[in-house]
Amino acid sequence: MNEDLQNTANKSGSWVSQPAENTSAAAASVVPLSEAVNPWDIVLCTSGTVISCENAIVVVTIFHSPSLRAPMFVLIGSLAVADLLAGIGLIVNFTFAYLLHSEAAKLVTVGLIVASFSASICSLMAITIDRYLSLYYALTYNSERTVTFTYIMLIVLWGVSICLGVLPVIGWNCLKDESTCSVIKPLTKNNVAALSVSFLLMFALMLQLYIQICKIVMRHAHQIALQHHFLATSHYVTTRKGVSTLAIILGTFAACWMPFTVYCLIADYTYPSIYTYATLLPATYNSIINPVIYAFRNQEIQKALWLICCGCIPPNILLRARSPSDV
C-alpha cells in the first residue's frame, strides 16, 4: 500500500519535492486529473479545511467579544489567525497545484504557508512568555506595560514571519537550480535548514520557560494549600494536574513538529516524497489541536462562545472556579 501511495505521489503536481527521475517519468505520460490527484494532498487539503473552520470560530469569538481584550486573549487571537491562514494556505495550494499550474502561484502559496506556520509557532512562543510573566510578575502583570509588551511581541513575530514567507517570492528558491531544493519545493535546503534550526532553538526556550512555570505553579499550589489548610493529598492532586497540563501542551507541540523538523535537516529533494508527507501531516495537526488547548478550554472564551451561539451561559461554566492548575 505504501508503494502505491508513493507511486501516486510521484505523479502529482504538489509542492512536495519529487525525485528527478520520477518527475520526468510522470511528465512523459499524460494522466487524467482524477487519476493524478495525490491522496496525500487530499488529506492535507482536508486538514486545511478543518484548521480553517476551527480557528475561524476562535477568531470570530475573540473579535466579537469586547470582554476578550486582555493580552492573553490577544495572543490567542494571533495564534488563531495564524492557524487560519495556514489552513487557507493548504487549501489554496491544493487548488493551484491541480488547477493553476503556475510557478508564481506556487511561490505565493508556499510563502503564505511558511509565513502562517511561522506565525503560529511564534505565537505559541509569545503565549508561553505571557504565561510565564503572568505568574512571575503576578502583582504588576495587569498594567499598561504588559499591554505594550504584548503588542511589541505581536509586531515582531508577524514581521519576522512575513519576512520568512516573502523570501521564496523574492528569489530565495530553487526554481533555477533543482539541486538546491529541499523536501519542500521551491524552498532551498539552506532555507529549510535555517527554519528548522530556529524551531529547535524556540522549542528549547519554550521548554526552559515551561520548567520555570512548573516550579511557580508548584510553589503557588503549596502556598494555597497552606493558607486553606488543605490536606497534602489535595495539594498533590492540584500540583499534578497543573504539571500534567503543561506536559500535554509541550508534548503535543513537540510530537507534531519535531519529526518534520528533524527530517528537513537530514533529507533533500532526492528522498521519497512519502516521507515528507508522513512527517508534514502531523505538523498540520498542531494547528487543529491549538484551539482545543488554548481557546476552547479557556473559561472566558467558553462563556463568549455560548453567548454568541445561544445567548446564555450554562451554570456549570458560570460557577466554575479557576484553580492554580489552569495555566
User: What whole-number distance in Å separates Cα of residue 70 and Cα of residue 295?
Assistant: 14
Domains belonging to the chain, first-starting first, are 39-310 (1.20.1070.10)
- Identify the helix (H) or strand (E) that includes residue 250: helix 232-266
Instruction: Please calculate the CA angle 255-322-130 and round it to the nearest 5 degrees.
Output: 55
The 10 Å CB-count burial string (b at 16+, else e) for 112-151 is bbbbbbbbbbbbbbbbbbbbbbbbeeeeebeeeebeebbe
Q: Tell me how far CA of residue 182 lies from CA of 47, 52, 131, 185, 266, in angstroms.
A: 23, 27, 35, 6, 10
Task: Tell me the CB-side half-sphere exposure of residue 85, using CA atoms within 13 A.
Answer: 23
Whole-number Å distance between alpha carbons of 60 and 305:
9
pLDDT at 245: 74
Q: In a structure prediction context, what are the per-residue pLDDT tens digits for the chain, which is 327 residues long?
A: 444 444 444 444 567 776 654 444 433 333 344 447 889 999 999 999 999 999 999 999 999 888 888 999 999 999 999 999 999 999 999 988 888 777 788 889 999 999 999 999 999 999 999 989 988 888 888 888 889 999 999 999 999 999 999 999 888 888 888 888 899 888 999 999 999 999 999 999 999 998 898 888 777 766 666 666 555 555 445 556 666 777 888 899 999 999 999 999 999 888 999 999 999 999 999 999 999 999 888 888 888 888 888 777 776 666 564 544 454
Quick one: which of 66, 71, 113 has its CA closest to 92? 113
Q: What's the rounded Cα separation, in Å, for the pair 195 and 215?
A: 30
The set of cell numbers assigned to 197 is 534550526
HSE-up (13 A, CA, CB side) for residue 173: 22
DSSP string, 120-164: HHHHHHHHHHHHHHHHHTTTTSSSHHHHHHHHHHHHHHHHHHHHH
